[in-house]
C-alpha cells in the first residue's frame, strides 16, 4: 500500500515539477503564465500533451524539439527529476496512514512547490516572486484552518506559529539593516526576509531558530561552491535557494533535530 502511494507521489512529483519549472521560467522572463500555452523556445511551435510528458519526451526525442530539431534545455528533465526526489523525500519522511500525517504531507508538498519556484526564479533572476510567497501563506492558512477544525492543532499552536513568522521577519529585517550599514551595500533582499517569515509560519519557534542557522551554513557552502565551480558574472548572490532548501530539510528533520538538541542540553 505504501509503495503504491510512493509511486503515485513520484508520478505526480514529475508532473507537478514540470509545471513548476515552466511557471518559474515564465515568472523570471516576465511571460504571462496563465494564458500562454507551452511552446518551443526556439521555433515557438505549440507543444501537444504528448510532447509534455516529463523526462520521457526529452529522452524519446534525444533532447531535441521534434518540430525544429533545436536543442531542448537539460533544465527540463533536471528540474522534473529534482522535484520528484523532493516529493519522495517528503513522502518517506512524514507520510503515514493517519489523517494528521496526510494533511501535513499535502500542506508541506504545496509549500515545497512554492519553495521550488522561489529557488528557480531567484537563481535565474535574483528575485523572489511575491506570488509564490503569497500562495505559500494562503496555503498555510487553509491547511491550518482544516487542522484546527479537525482538532489536530489548537489555537495556541496557531498563534505561536503566526508569532514565529512575524518575529523572524522582524529580526531578519533588523539584521539586514545593520549589515547594510556595516557593509555599505545591500546585504539581504526584501524577498529573503519575506521567505524567512513564510517559513516561520510553517516551522514554529524551534524550527525557525534552526532555519536561520542552517540557511547561513547552506548559503556559505553554496557561495563557496559557486566561487570554485564558476566565475560569477555578478556580485549579486541568490540567498533564496539556500533558505528554501533549509526550510524543506527542516520540514522533514526539524522535530528530530529539536529533540536531539534539547536532549543534549537537558
| Binding string, residues 22-41; x marks residues near Zn ion by CB under 5 A | ------------------x-
Grouping H, G, I as helix, E, B as strand and the rest as coil, residue 29 is coil
Residue 67 binds Zn ion, judged by CB under 5 A: yes
Question: Do the Cβ atoms of 143 and 176 come closer than 8 Å?
Answer: no
The nearest distance, CB 51 to Zn ion, in angstroms, is 10
The nearest distance, CB 39 to Zn ion, in angstroms, is 8
In 3D space, the residue among 106, 89, 113 whose CA is nearest the CA of residue 23 turns out to be 113
Residue 43 binds Zn ion, judged by CB under 5 A: yes
Closer CB to Zn ion, 58 or 202, in the complex: 58
Which triple of cell numbers denotes residue 180?
Answer: 547594510
Residue 14 binds Zn ion, judged by CB under 5 A: no
Provide CB contacts within 8 A for 208, sequence distance 6+.
164, 165, 167, 168, 196, 199, 200
Cα pseudo-dihedral 254, 259, 262, 263, rounded to 10: -150
Which triple of cell numbers denotes residue 266?
Answer: 537537558
The nearest distance, CB 72 to Zn ion, in angstroms, is 8
From the list 64-72, 146-154, 174-182, 248-256, the region that binds Zn ion by CB under 5 A is 64-72
Residue 72 binds Zn ion, judged by CB under 5 A: no
Residues that bind Zn ion (CB under 5 A): 40, 43, 65, 67-68, 70
Amino acid at each position: 500500500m505504501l509503495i503504491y502511494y510512493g509511486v503515485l507521489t513520484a508520478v505526480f512529483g514529475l508532473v507537478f515539477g514540470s509545471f513548476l519549472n515552466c511557471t518559474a521560467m515564465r515568472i523570471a522572463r516576465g511571460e504571462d503564465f496563465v494564458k500562454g500555452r507551452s511552446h518551443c523556445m526556439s521555433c515557438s511551435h505549440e507543444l501537444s500533451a504528448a510532447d509534455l510528458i516529463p523526462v520521457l519526451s526529452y529522452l524519446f526525442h534525444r533532447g531535441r524539439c521534434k518540430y525544429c530539431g533545436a536543442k531542448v534545455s537539460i533544465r527540463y528533465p533536471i528540474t522534473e527529476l529534482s522535484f520528484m526526489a523532493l516529493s519522495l523525500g517528503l513522502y518517506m519522511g512524514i507520510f503515514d496512514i493517519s489523517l494528521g500525517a496526510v494533511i501535513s504531507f499535502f500542506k508541506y508538498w504545496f509549500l515545497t512547490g512554492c519553495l521550488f519556484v522561489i529557488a528557480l526564479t531567484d537563481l535565474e533572476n535574483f528575485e523572489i516572486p511575491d506570488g509564490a510567497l503569497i500562495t505559500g501563506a494562503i496555503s498555510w492558512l487553509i491547511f491550518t484552518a482544516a487542522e484546527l477544525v479537525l482538532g489536530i492543532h489548537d489555537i495556541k499552536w496557531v498563534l505561536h506559529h503566526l508569532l514565529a513568522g512575524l518575529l523572524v521577519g522582524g529580526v531578519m529585517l533588523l539584521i539586514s539593516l545593520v549589515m547594510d550599514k556595516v557593509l555599505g551595500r545591500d546585504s539581504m533582499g526584501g524577498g529573503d526576509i519575506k521567505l524567512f517569515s513564510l517559513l516561520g509560519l510553517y516551522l514554529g519557534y524551534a524550527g525557525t531558530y534552526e532555519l536561520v542557522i542552517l540557511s547561513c551554513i547552506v548559503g556559505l557552502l553554496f557561495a563557496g561552491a559557486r566561487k570554485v565551480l564558476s566565475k560569477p558574472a555578478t556580485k549579486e548572490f541568490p540567498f533564496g535557494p539556500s533558505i528554501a532548501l533549509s526550510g524543506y530539510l527542516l520540514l522533514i528533520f526539524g522535530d528530530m533535530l529539536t529533540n536531539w538538541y534539547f536532549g543534549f542540553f537537558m
